[in-house]
Amino acid sequence: MNAKGLKAIMINQREDFTYRLLMDAGIKKGFRILDVGCGSGDVTLLAAEIVGADGEVIGFDTNEAALDIARNAAAERRIINAKFVKAEIGGLPQDIGRFDAIIGRRVLMYQPDATHSVKSLLPYLKTNGLVVFQESDSMGSFKNMDLPLHTQAQAWIWDTVAKEGGNVHIGSNLYCVFKQAGLTIAQVRAEAVLQTPETGSDLAWVVKMMLPRIIQSGTATQKEIDIDLLEERLNSERQNADAVFVRDMTFGIWGTMQA
């Protein structure tokens, strides 16, 4: 498979769960949606395509550099119903209005009190509005004897998140978070994301993105990671082992705030 084909599979693998979650939760054309901790906008833009021209999605994040990437991606893809705002949970602009759905991916894991964060967003939800979140859980990190470098790279990622104070079990905690926030849960689900020699892997890319954090947290050294050769080493490990790597355990949940 060529590099373009592999990239397409990886993008699908990253977005596929999110797309199904949003559709199954009932996100519809014309919805007004708030995307919490939108980062570089992948979920915001996906939602903007689902709600169509009559809908609107506002993504907010504290990271201005990520918001710039999101704005550029929207312009490049000519998506005009997505807007990006610099704000934090608990500090949204007063005039932002109310939403048919509040969504978020991999953001509650970084909140010191996820229930408090979800509760603080509920005043922005319309009556009977939807709340949809996707989070990962480190429970997917099995020690795979055939893939020691993959196992190691996965551990660098989760150990860094844990050292930064992130909740590595937020996925399996989502049910309790929603209940304690007073939401009526419609469905909670989980799915293992598997990688094989055929699918390729985003592991080296994620380690590269997190490299300064991995090193700063003291989880691993530049020499141990050897980032320039990491992707090549991972690829050959997967090819030689001809094995399945459990990359992630992804959780999704949706519910409503009833009047």
Ligand X SMILES: C[S@@+](CC[C@H](N)C(=O)[O-])C[C@H]1O[C@@H](n2cnc3c(N)ncnc32)[C@H](O)[C@@H]1O
Give contact residues for ligand X (rule: CB under 6 A).
37-39, 42-43, 61-63, 66, 88-89, 105-107, 110
First-to-last alpha carbon distance for the chain, in angstroms, is 52
Which of 39, 129 has the CB closer to ligand X?
Answer: 39
Q: How far is the CB of 179 from ligand X (least distance, A)?
A: 21
Q: How far is the CB of 74 from ligand X (least distance, A)?
A: 14
Q: How far is the CB of 258 from ligand X (least distance, A)?
A: 26
Q: CA–CA separation, 131 vs 121, rounded Å?
A: 9
Q: CA–CA separation, 198 vs 63, rounded Å?
A: 34
Which of 64, 242 has the CB closer to ligand X?
Answer: 64
Which of 56, 237 has the CB closer to ligand X?
Answer: 56
Q: How far is the CB of 201 from ligand X (least distance, A)?
A: 18
Residue with tokens 């969504």: 103
Q: How far is the CB of 229 from ligand X (least distance, A)?
A: 25
Q: CA–CA separation, 187 vs 169, rounded Å?
A: 18
Rounded to 10 degrees, the C-alpha dihedral 195/135/252/140 comes to: 40
Which of 105, 150 has the CB closer to ligand X?
Answer: 105
Which of 110, 175 has the CB closer to ligand X?
Answer: 110
Name the amino acid, one letter, at 113.
D
Q: How far is CA 181 from CA 10, 111, 193, 257, in A?
A: 34, 14, 28, 9
Which of 135, 237 has the CB closer to ligand X?
Answer: 135
DSSP strands (E only) in 120-215: 125-137, 184-195
Q: How far is the CB of 162 from ligand X (least distance, A)?
A: 15
Residue with tokens 């504290």: 62
Q: How far is the CB of 57 from ligand X (least distance, A)?
A: 12
Which of 155, 243 has the CB closer to ligand X?
Answer: 155
Q: CA–CA separation, 62 vs 45, rounded Å?
A: 18
Helices (H) then strands (E): counts for the chain: 9, 7
Q: CA–CA separation, 27 vs 108, rounded Å?
A: 20
Q: Report which residue's Cβ sits closest to ligand X.
A: 39
For 5, list phi and psi in degrees, rounded to 5.
Answer: -65, -40
